[in-house]
Amino acid sequence: MADKRSRKALIAHLSDLDETYVLNAVRQLLDEGQDPLDIIEDCEHAMRLVGERYEKREYYLSALIMAGEIFREVMMISQPSMEQRLSGNASGKILLGTVQGDIHDIGKDIAQLALRCYGFAVEDLGIDVPPQKFLEHVQNNPPDIIGLSGLVTVAYESMQETTRLLRGHNKPGQAAIPIIIGGSTLSEEICRFVGADFWVTDAMEGVRICQHIVQNINRP
């Protein structure tokens, strides 16, 4: 079983963008029986460190992109192990997209991979998605959960507009579809401003919330 030093080394090397070390380390940790959820959480920790270095101007945009690509590879390597650990977890349909005015997709794509690994069907609308497009998809093929992704400040108003539009078209007596907003800069205050039900700053927390929501929907 991997010790804490191995996991700390994984975090350090990913934050240093050492792709070869990270991928080899992930394979070894999985071979040793490490919980893939722990590995993903360690990598998300490393991604936050990368973001901090970017904010301090120690890294450029290219470093953020590279870190995101390494994380995607980690998710792909971990996917079979995560699927093997699924044991009756409720699955559901999720509508996902980066809201209008924002073209960032790394966080959204990581969330999509994580959700699919845990048995969810995900419809990804892509980036810069207008509120009306979310509504059209909800009307044509209602999901169990709606996920709105955004990183830049302008995204908050788009999230709010999208949430208002979706809520405004609920039929009388119809339960509102839960809305989760995701992004590394979000907070409880922003969630209240948007009018969403939940907010997350990392993919695995989003998975847990989605599991909880769908389990309650399916509960007799």
Domain-wise residue ranges, the chain = 4-85, 93-218
Instruction: List Cα–Cα distances, 212 to 109, 186, 197, 209, 219, in angstroms.
Output: 21, 21, 13, 5, 11
> pLDDT per residue over 113-155, tens digit each?
888 878 899 999 999 999 999 999 999 999 999 999 998 888 9
Give me the pLDDT at residue 218, please: 63
What per-residue confidence (pLDDT) applies to 1? 41
Tell me what the mean pLDDT of segment 99-123 comes to. Answer: 86
Q: Which numeric CATH code is attached to 93-218?
A: 3.40.50.280
Name beta bridge partners: 198: 180
Name the residue among 108, 171, 99, 177 with its Cα closest to residue 138: 177
pLDDT at 2 over 90: no
Confidence of residue 106 (pLDDT cuts 50, 70, 90): confident
Residue 15: the pLDDT is 94
* pLDDT of 136: 96
Q: Distance (Å, rounded) from C-alpha 106 to C-alpha 213?
A: 24
Asked if the model's pLDDT at residue 192 lies above 50, the reply is: yes
The residue among 165 and 119 whose pLDDT is bigger is 165
For the segment 28-34, the average pLDDT, to the nearest whole number, is: 90
Q: Which CATH architecture has domain 4-85?
A: Orthogonal Bundle (1.10)
d(CA 44, CA 71): 8
Give the model's pLDDT for residue 76.
86
In the numeric block, which tokens belong to residue 185? 């800069």
Neighbours of 130 (CB within 10 A): 17
Amino acid 217: pLDDT: 75
Interacting residues of 145 by C-beta distance below 8 A, sequence separation 6+: 92, 93, 94, 95, 177, 178, 179, 180, 210, 213, 214
For residue 22, pLDDT beyond 90? yes
Q: Name the nearest CA neighbour of 181 among 91, 107, 128.
A: 107
Please answer whether residues 34 and 5 qualify as being in contact, where contact means their C-beta atoms are separated by less than 8 angstroms: no
Average pLDDT for 81-93: 68
Q: What pLDDT band is residue 3 in, cutting at 50, 70 and 90?
A: low
Per residue in 45-85, pLDDT (tens digit) is: 898 888 889 888 999 889 988 998 898 899 889 888 876 76
Tokens 């804490």 sit on residue: 4
In angstroms, the CA 51 to CA 46 distance is 9
Q: CA angle, corner 39, sides to 37 and 42, nearest 5?
A: 110
Give residue 72's pLDDT: 86
What residues contact residue 189 under an 8 Å CB cut-off, 6+ apart?
A: none
